[in-house]
Amino acid sequence: MRYLSTRGHNAQQTFSEILLGGLAADGGLYLPEKYPQVTTAQLDAWRGLSYADLAFEVLSLYCDDIPPVDLKALVKKTYTAEVYSNGRADDSAKDITPIHWLGDEAGTRLGLLSLSNGPTLAFKDMAMQLLGNLFEYTLNKRGQELNILGATSGDTGSAAEYAMRGKKGVRVFMLSPKGKMSAFQVAQMYSLQDENIYNIAIDGVFDDAQDIVKAVSNDHAFKAQQKIGTVNSINWARVVAQVVYYFQGYLLATKNSTEKVSFCVPSGNFGNVCAGHIARMMGLPIEKLVVATNENDVLDEFFKTGVYRARQSAETFHTTSPSMDISKASNFERFVYDLVGRDPVRTAKMFQDVETKGGFDLSKDDAYKTISQYGFVSGKSTHANRLETIRDIHAKYSVVIDTHTADGVKVARENLQANVPMLVLETALPIKFAETIQEALGRSPDRPAAFIGIEDQPQRVAEMPADVNQVKAFVAKHTGL
Ligand SMILES: *Cc1c(COP(=O)(O)O)cnc(C)c1O
Helix (H, G, I), strand (E, B) or coil at 136: helix
Whether the pLDDT of residue 201 is over 60: the answer is yes
Band the pLDDT of 140: cuts 50, 70, 90. Answer: very high
Band the pLDDT of 210: cuts 50, 70, 90. Answer: confident
Q: Catalytic annotation on 477? A: no
Mutate to test the pocket of ligand 1, among 121, 125, 269, 332 (most ligand atoms within 8 A of CB): 269
Active-site choice (34, 76, 124, 227):
124
Ordered structural domains, the chain, with CATH: 93-121+237-441 (3.40.50.1100)
pLDDT in tens, 374-431: 999 999 999 999 999 999 999 999 999 999 999 999 999 999 999 999 999 999 999 9
Residue 268's nearest CA partner among 307, 311, 227 is 311
Query: What span, in angstroms and rounded, lies between the C-alpha atoms of 211 and 216?
Result: 9
Cα 167 to Cα 20, 194, 238: the distances in Å are: 15, 10, 17
For the CA of 270, the nearest atom of ligand 1: 9
Q: Is the CB of 233 under 6 A from ligand 1?
A: yes
Cα of 426 to ligand 1 centre, how many Å? 10
**pLDDT given for residue 292 in this prediction:** 98
Query: What residue spans of 91-205 are helical by DSSP H?
Result: 124-142, 155-164, 183-190
Whether the pLDDT of residue 440 is over 70: the answer is yes
pLDDT in tens, 331-364: 999 999 999 999 999 999 999 999 999 999 999 9
Band the pLDDT of 329: cuts 50, 70, 90. Answer: very high
Q: What's the DSSP call for residue 419?
A: T
Band the pLDDT of 21: cuts 50, 70, 90. Answer: confident
Q: What is the pTM of this model?
A: 0.96
Per-residue b/e over 84-108, b at no fewer than 16 CB within 10 Å?
bbbbbeeebbebbbbbbebeeeeeb
Which residue CA neighbors atom 1 of ligand 1 most closely? 323
Cα of 322 to ligand 1 centre, how many Å? 9
Asked if 241 contacts 131 with a C-beta cutoff of 8 angstroms, the reply is yes
**pLDDT given for residue 369 in this prediction:** 93
Average pLDDT over every residue of 243-252: 98
Q: What's the DSSP call for residue 445?
A: P
**307-309/359-361 β-pairing:** antiparallel
pLDDT in tens, 170-192: 999 999 999 888 888 899 999 99
Cα of 323 to ligand 1 centre, how many Å? 5
Q: Is the CB of 428 under 6 A from ligand 1?
A: yes
**376-380/286-293 β-pairing:** parallel
Percent of the chain past pLDDT 90, that is, above it, reads: 83
Band the pLDDT of 126: cuts 50, 70, 90. Answer: very high
Residues 6+ apart with CB under 8 A from 473: none
Q: Is the CB of 155 under 6 A from ligand 1?
A: yes
Cα 32 to chain centroid, rounded:
19
Cα 413 to chain centroid, rounded:
23
Which residues are bridge partners to 265 per DSSP?
A: 291
Cα of 105 to ligand 1 centre, how many Å? 26
Q: Is the CB of 271 under 6 A from ligand 1?
A: yes
Which residue CA neighbors atom 8 of ligand 1 most closely? 269
Residue 27's nearest CA partner among 45, 9, 1 is 9
Mutate to test the pocket of ligand 1, among 152, 246, 267, 437 (most ligand atoms within 8 A of CB): 267
Average pLDDT over every residue of 195-220: 90
Whether the pLDDT of residue 233 is over 90: the answer is no
Whether the pLDDT of residue 154 is over 90: the answer is no
Which residue CA neighbors atom 2 of ligand 1 most closely? 323
For the CA of 159, the nearest atom of ligand 1: 15
Cα of 268 to ligand 1 centre, how many Å? 6
Which residue CA neighbors atom 15 of ligand 1 most closely? 323
Helix (H, G, I), strand (E, B) or coil at 169: coil
